[in-house]
Each structure stands twice: as structure tokens, then as C-alpha cells.
Structure 1
Amino acid sequence: MRKILLILDGIVAKEFVMTLSSKHIEQNYQIFVSQDPLLLPDISSDYVENHNFDPSSTRKLREILDPQITDCYIIVNDDRDIIYETIRNYSKNIQITMLGKIELKGEDSMLTVVDESSVLSAKLFERFPNVPRTAKYIGLGQGEIMQVSVPSGSPYAYRAIGSIKQKKWKIVAIYRNNDFLLPINSSVIFPNDSLLLVGEPKILWDIYYRIKDEIGQFPTPFGRDVVLYCDLQDNENLQLIIDQGLWLFNKFKNKRFHLCFFNPANFDDLQNIKTNENLNKENVTWHIEYYETSLKKIINRDRANKNIGLIILNSRLFATSKRFLFDLGIPLLKLGNTPLYELTDSAVVIPDKIQESEKISSVVFDFSTQIGVKIKLYDFDIDSKYHKDAIDYYNRIAKIFEKKIETITSNTLNPIIWLNNEKHTIQIIPLKKEEAKKPIWRSLTNVENLSTHLTNIPQLFIPLSV
């Protein structure tokens, strides 16, 4: 839930409040400020605050500003510059949307200006003869074309186009900073982008809610199905593996879980699987593969009829198939010695390329929130030149998800040693194809490569691209 500040005055503000009150009043926590009491919504709600004062009063406005505010709408006739300066001096990270122009001293990427005269002119131009129409006049007019903005905490933020399963719908364009982009598979979606979607109307509405929903979506947008693969020749902890998979699936919402057992070794294992009542629940299916012994061939077959968004396997199976698994571009959960249901924390080791930690941030918060663990950031630098930008970014996202994070910095304790000593932690790590192809002796200083060899803790690998 976002906390939004609305500063209002004039006829446009009045219409805006009426629309907001009738449709979206309780989807966010909203703070209304206006000198005109008639512009304050007459609604009793735990998610609404009303303040009746002159918003151009810097002192009074600063009194209600809150670090949790993520967005601000300035819809006033006068004193926009004063109000803007008050808010921007308080925080550089609040996304401001303003009706009308002001003179800026410098660039502000967190400011969106809506020019009333330009909007009205564009509407009049649409009615001019022999002029191409906007999307609502194109095609069937049934909603098969949709434009959706991407919020910061969206599961689609920092995702490569090619890593998003698009069945019966497509992302055909990206609008970013007033630029039009034709995406390719490697194109990355950023917060505040607008996506132009084409597809079946019902599916587009489902995608819209997935893009806008900031929690509980993983493994979307990679796929919907969670699949556990288990080699029965390595059956020492068969029941533990099944229990962990079921526990994790029960933490997710609106997903499907499939278990694939292959290389059957003895009759007792088969009986335990067939008589396990927990494997016969809704949205849970299982299969014993009697003939195919190759994990690669089994997964390639499953990809043809399943929308796989997460693969679960133990560390031995992961180690023998790592190169192939990394090439899939699908999130991987490698089980460790600590059962998933005993986890208390998730950990992200900030890499040298801080963009990589940012790209997995939405998954870090979504996954951690769904399974109910705290988040730790581990920042290691022998020169004590820590990654402040990455830490600040995670703190901003934490505000959106209403999630606390713990930051640990060190210039002495190697991240691999730190991770290996964490008994109840799952590491969330960027998945990069090239790391799987390097022998360990060629990347002894690379944390991501070395991390793949850990077996003590479970690890969630998130692909950066296809």
C-alpha cells in the first residue's frame, strides 16, 4: 500500500477528488490537503487524512510530511513552485505529479508535469478530419490494446522482455521519458515505464493486475507453475524434499505445483509417493517418470506444456545440471541443509555491478514477504567504499513494500564465509549464464560464481535476462 499526498485547489481538483472517491479511495493511504474544505472528501476511513490549511505555508506543509510518502499530486492554480520546493527539499525520492508548469533550477526525473493546455489541444486535434486516432479508436475497440505504467515494486520492474512469458498477449512498445522504444528480448523494463500491451482483453486485464500488484506475485512474471524435480536414485531425504516443496507452494498464491520424480530406485519410495495425501490437494500434481533418465530432456518436455516460473531441486541435482539450468532463463531454487520452513532471513550480497542487485530487488521483497523472512543486505568492500547507491535503492523499495531491511557492511569478512555461517538464511542471487560456464579456479574472486558451490544454505537464482 502506497502513502499518497494530494494537494488540491480549483475545479480540476474537485473533479479529480470525485473520481478518486468513487473508485480508488481505499487502495492507498491518502493524505488530502486543501484550503477549501469542500475539496476534502467526506469519507470515514482509516486510510484517509484530511488537512484544511493553505498548502503554500511551508511550515504547515512540512508538519504533515512523512518519510513513508511515496507519491504526491499537486493540483492547484497558484503557488505550485512554493509547494514543489517544500516537498522536494524534504525528499528527493517522492514521485511528484503536477498539473501545470513551473520553472525548474535543474532536472528532476521524479517529476511529471501535466500541461492542461497541451492535453486539451491534443483532444481537439483527435477530432480533426483525416488524423489517425488514438488506441481507443483502433482495432476492435474491445480492450485488446492497453497501456500500463509500471510501479517501482512491480514484479515486472527490472525484468528483461524475453524473461516474461507472453502467451496470447505481447509487450509491443515501451514508453520511457517521452521516448518510444520497440523492445527486443534483451530490453529491460524499468520503474515508471509505460508498456503498450496487445492481446486478448481478458488476459490483458489479468496482466494489468499482475503488473500493478506489488506483492505476492512471484514467480510471476517468469511463469505460473512451480515444478520440483527429484532424482529417486538420490533419495536420502525424499520426504524432506517433498515437505519443503509443499511448504513453499502453500506460501504462494494462485499458483500451480507439480512434482516430477525420475530414476525410481525402489518400491518403498514409489509407495510413499502414491500414498502421500498432501500430493493430492488442489493445484498440486505429480508424476513418476519411469523411462526418461535425463533431467534436461524431462524439463524440455515439460516446458512445452507448462508455464514454468520456478524450478526446485536439491544441491546434487543442481551441481550436475548447472550449465543447462542456467541457460533456461527460469528462476532456480536450490535446496540446502537448512529446511525452507526453518528460514528466518533472506540475504543479498551486493555485487560490484550494483544494477544486478537492483534488477532482482522486486523478487527479493516479494519472495521474502511471501515466505515471512527478514531481508539482509551484505556489502563487502576491502577498501570500505561501500555501495551506497544500491543500499539507498533498497531502502526506497523497502518503503513501498513496508518491509524493514538490515544492512551489514564489512571490509574483512568474505561474503562466502559469512553466507556459510548463516544457518537459517536463503541467499537470493542474480542468475548469469556466463558464471555457470567458468571453472571455479578461474573465478576465485567472484562471489556469484563461488556462491553456486555452497550447499549449507538454500539459494534462489533469479535470471537477469533470457
Structure 2
Amino acid sequence: MKKILIISEGETAEHFINRVIDAYTSENIYYIVQTKAKKFPNANPSRFKFYEFDPTSFYKLSNLLKMEFAQVMILMDNPMDVENTIKNIRAIKKQLRIIVLNKWKLKNEDSNIVMINSKQILSSRMLDYLPNVPVIAQNVGIGEGEIMEVLVPFGSSFVYKHIGVIEQKEWRIVAIYRNRKLIMPNRRRMIQPNDLLVMVGDPEVLKSVYRAIKRELGQFPEPFGSNIYMYLDMDLLNHKKMEKFVSRAIFAHQKFGRTLIIKVVNPSNFELLWKIKEYRSPNVIIDINYDPKGLESAFFNDIKNYHVGLVIVPNELFENHKMRSMLYDAHVPILKIAEKNLSLVKDASIILGDNRDLEKISSTIFDISEKMNLNIELYNYTNEAQDAKEQVVEHYTNLSTIFSKSVKIVKDGENPIKKLKRKDDFIQILPFTKKLTLKNFYSIFSTDSERLYHKLESHHQIFIPVQI
């Protein structure tokens, strides 16, 4: 049986004692000191002992502290009274844990004294009622945002997604509230508009997830980053084709409307460099690296420092195995530009596979199609198993209603790769998974359309990482 000492004064203390009476545990006995006696008719006399005296009186308080208390809680209206009461307690009990309601920015270096800032608590609670602000559990766990609840808006990228296809690394959806009823999540559960999600995880990760849930169309390259990064390695590129590639990348940059960073490494053609420098503007940054050492670490530093959300590379750079692996490790979308006019592209073409990775990146696909004014085509090869594909088709159909964006479903017995080879005005979009970093030689006997991406390498392609 633990003894708890509560030193109280004022209205806040009175409210607190009433809450304790309503929620007390039979494992505790409460000794309550009041400067002015107030009656609490619901208090159980066997669990609540009341005293009336001034706790700043060392003599009176010392008599009560002859008992062994588990902790002391101080809720008083005068800062001087609080400080003197703490001094009295410390003169008798050096290590007793003290919890103080701090209304005045009082400070204390004692590790066994916890200062509860009342202004922070009130402002935090008021913040919970603002729209578009995540609600964070204050009194559970360590109270730093590792438990969060988020209302899913109608236009969210999470709407109509199955929980099983949402990449949950260092975070989890642990509960869903729908129409004021608790629904336990499972892999097949689909998220609906106005669902309230309760999530647990790393506080920084949850902030990113919150932004992803609240994101609507027109924000790409968010949530991956805010800027676009063009990477040119002159040792790996055909210099005669590079000028046209840069102009196509500038066209893509104008479509997405973000700051573009043109990164040139291993510069060797100074005439071409001067032409690239002509693109410099308030929204176009030219960054030339003359040091051939540490290019990989410099690349990852740029991704972080420039807050990159999309990397643009030419086809021959992506086909380099080492470069492709480095791009995968960046965990941002990659736009691979081929030797075709990007301005003539009309369709975003997606080949359905036997997994559901396309459901994970669906909101990004809709976002890109909105930014680039593209139609969405789903190619369903009917000679393969259809269970997973039908769920992906259902998901895209639901999203097309939300985003008012039509989706064309192409069902055909002909291999979609052969069909797309005869088509010119499209850009292929596909998940950027680890298997795409394997050397293309090993895909000769593969039937996986994603592994065979290089069969359409003469066309523009966008590779989207599956995680948030």
C-alpha cells in the first residue's frame, strides 16, 4: 500500500483531488494537506486522510513526514509557498520524489523533483483542437509524440488503401476509429475517408506519416522531398546527347514547378558546361563538383541538404549497375529520361504485376499524372493470376473517383511490354524495389514485368520507392 502526500491550495488543486477520488486505485492511500479545509463528500475515509495547516510551517509538515511516502504532489497558488514547502520537505526527506505544478517558470536542479509546466499543458491541449495538426498523446509513454492520432481526410493518399500494403517501418497503425467505433486493424482492412487512425512509432517517422496522410494531389515531389535534382556524370554520358537531355529535364522541372539543382560531376567538356550554366536562374542552381573522389557520399549529402524529392537522370546513367544501386539507396523517385520528346507524352502507363507494390505508390502515381497532365493506363495481362491484380484495380478505381481522374484498364492476352513497345506517347511508372538493382543479364528468363523494365528503356520511365 503506497502513501501519497498531496499538498493543495486553490481551484486547480480542488479539481485534481476530485479527479483522484473518481479514479483512485485501491493500492494507494492519499494524505491531503489543505491550507483551507474543503469537503469532498465522495472521498472514501479509508483511502483519503485530510489535514488543515500551512505546509510552509516546518514544524507542522515534519510531523506528517515522519511517515514513509512514495511521493509528494504540490499544487499551490503562490510560488514562494511552493519553494518553501519544497525546502521543508528536502530538510527531512532528501530523496523523496516531488511532483510540482509549475505556473511560474520555477526551476530546480534536483533530479527527484518533476516540474509540470501548466502553460505548456494548456497550450498543448488547445493545440489538439486546431484542424490539420496531429494529436499527440501527452501522458502515455514518454510523451514525445510516439503515439499519435490522425483523421484521414477525403482526398488523402491513404484512403481506400489496404493496411497490408502500407509500408510500416518504425511505426504501426494500432487502431482505427470509424463512426465512433473501435476497429482493430489487419492486413486486409481498407482505410476509409474520415477514419481516425491511432499510430505508434518513432516521433520523427510519425511526423512524416502525418504529412503523407494529409497530403493531397498537386504536392509532388512531397512527401519524398521538396526539390528536383538532375545528376550528370560526364564520364558516363554521351556529350553529344547531353544538351538535349538537359532541355528535356528542364521541361520536367517546369511541369513540377520546384527548385532544380543541376549537379555536374567529372566535368570534362567546358563548352557544354557553359551551355548548362545558361540555365542558371532563381529556380535553377548549378552545382559543379571538380573533385573525382567521394562522389557517392557527396550524392547522398546532396539528397539530404537540398531536400531532394525527385532525381532526374539520362537513360545510360540509370543503366549503369553501380549508379542504379546508388539511386535505389537514395529512396526518392527517379525520372529516367530517354531519347524521346518528353512534351509529347500523354499517358502514364502501368503494368500490373503479381504483387501489390503498385497499391503502395498509387497516390504518387496520381500526383505525377496530375502534375504532368497525363492519363493513367493500367495494363492487366490476363494470362497471369488475377487475385492480387483485381485488388489493385479496385484500389485504383476507388482513387479515380476521389481524385476525379479517369483510369483506363487495358485487359489483354498480349504481353503488355510488346504492346507498349509499339506505342510512343507514354511514360512508364513502376515501383523501385531492390530487385531492380540486379544486373539486367539475370532477367533473361524472368517473367516479372518489373525486372524486365529495361525492355522499355527507349521510353521515359519513373521509378518510385515503395516506402513513405
TM-score range (shorter-chain normalised) is 0.5 to 0.7
Equivalent positions of 1:51-450 (< 5 A) are 128-129=22-23, 138=139, 147-151=149-153, 154-155=156-157, 159-162=166-169, 174-176=174-176, 178-179=183-184, 191-192=191-192, 193-195=197-199, 211-233=213-235, 234=237, 235-253=239-257, 255-276=258-279, 279-282=280-283, 284-292=284-292, 296-320=296-320, 321-353=323-355, 355-382=356-383, 387-411=389-413, 413-437=414-438, 439-441=441-443, 443-450=445-452
Asked whether the 8 Å contact 1:436–1:449 carries over to 2, the reply is no
Rg larger in structure: 2
Looking at structure 2, the residues matched to 237 and 293 of structure 1 have their Cα atoms a distance apart, in angstroms, of 25
One-letter amino acid matched to 2:365: V
The unaligned stretches of length 5 or more in structure 2 are: 1-17, 26-124, 126-134, 177-181
Looking at structure 2, the residues matched to 188 and 301 of structure 1 have their Cα atoms a distance apart, in angstroms, of 38
One-letter amino acid matched to 1:307: H
- Report deviation, 1:395: 1.0
Q: Residue by residue, what CA displacement relative to the aligned partner does 1:300-330 show, whole Å, maximum 9, x if unpaired?
A: 2323423222111011000112233223322
The alignment covers a number of residue pairs equal to 321
Distance 1:135 1:260, change over 3 A: closer
Asked whether the 8 Å contact 1:223–1:308 carries over to 2, the reply is yes
Asked whether the 8 Å contact 1:155–1:218 carries over to 2, the reply is no
- Report deviation, 1:155: 4.2
- Report deviation, 1:376: 0.5
Looking at structure 2, the residues matched to 306 and 336 of structure 1 have their Cα atoms a distance apart, in angstroms, of 25
One-letter amino acid matched to 2:381: F
DSSP-derived class of the 2:364 partner: helix
Looking at structure 1, the residues matched to 425 and 341 of structure 2 have their Cα atoms a distance apart, in angstroms, of 8
Looking at structure 2, the residues matched to 244 and 312 of structure 1 have their Cα atoms a distance apart, in angstroms, of 10
Asked whether the 8 Å contact 2:138–2:145 carries over to 1, the reply is no
Q: Residue by residue, what CA displacement relative to the aligned partner does 1:365-401 show, whole Å, maximum 9, x if unpaired?
A: 1110111011111011226858333222211110001
Distance 1:180 1:129, change over 3 A: farther
What is the CA RMSD across the aligned residues, in angstroms? 3.9
Looking at structure 2, the residues matched to 314 and 294 of structure 1 have their Cα atoms a distance apart, in angstroms, of 21
- TM-score norm. by structure 1 comes to 0.59
- TM-score norm. by structure 2 comes to 0.59
